[in-house]
Amino acid sequence: MKKNYHLALLILSLLFIFNGRAIWAQNDSLSQFDSTKEIIAIVSQLERLDPSEYILKIDDVREKLEKYFENKKRVCEGDFSTVVLTKGERESDTKKSVKLSKEEREVCLRELKQVQQKYIESLFEAKKRYVIHLHKQRLEELEKSKEEAIKELMKKFNKKGRR
């Protein structure tokens, strides 16, 4: 009997642990959409991104922003409703589902458009700096190749001239 009790307790504990982790993971994934200010900060960081780090960081930034844009668009289109609680009420007591008004939707979409435009402009500047960085590297490599070719030519010429 004790074994069954312990087994049931173990299973119940594991269910709570896994359920808690699932809820935490869900909240964590939603937290990246919480603030437009955070997204704007990420976009602003693109403007200062070191060209040598472009390849390392751009995919992560792009992924975060694409998720944000997708979620924000759904919010603006009214795919989600807002739960409004009045002071002192618990969520289970009173839930009022509120959709965005036409004006709020327009403001939301305008804000989304501005952030997307800033992202496109910042991404362009980051890519431009990266391409210039690559161009400089290639020119340096080309210059080294030219110098090595001239040195090799001079060595061959000097050897033939001595004979």
Give the C-alpha separation, 47 to 126, whole Å. Answer: 6
User: What are the 10-residue block averages of pLDDT along the chain, 163 residues in total?
Assistant: 53 49 39 68 90 92 92 85 56 59 90 94 95 97 97 87 59
Query: Which residue matches tokens 């435009």?
Result: 117
- What is the residue extent of each domain of the chain? 1-31, 35-162
Q: Give residue 139's pLDDT.
A: 97
Q: Give residue 28's pLDDT.
A: 43
Q: Give residue 125's pLDDT.
A: 94
- 96-108 b/e (C-beta count within 10 Å ≥ 16 → b): eeeebeeeeeeeb
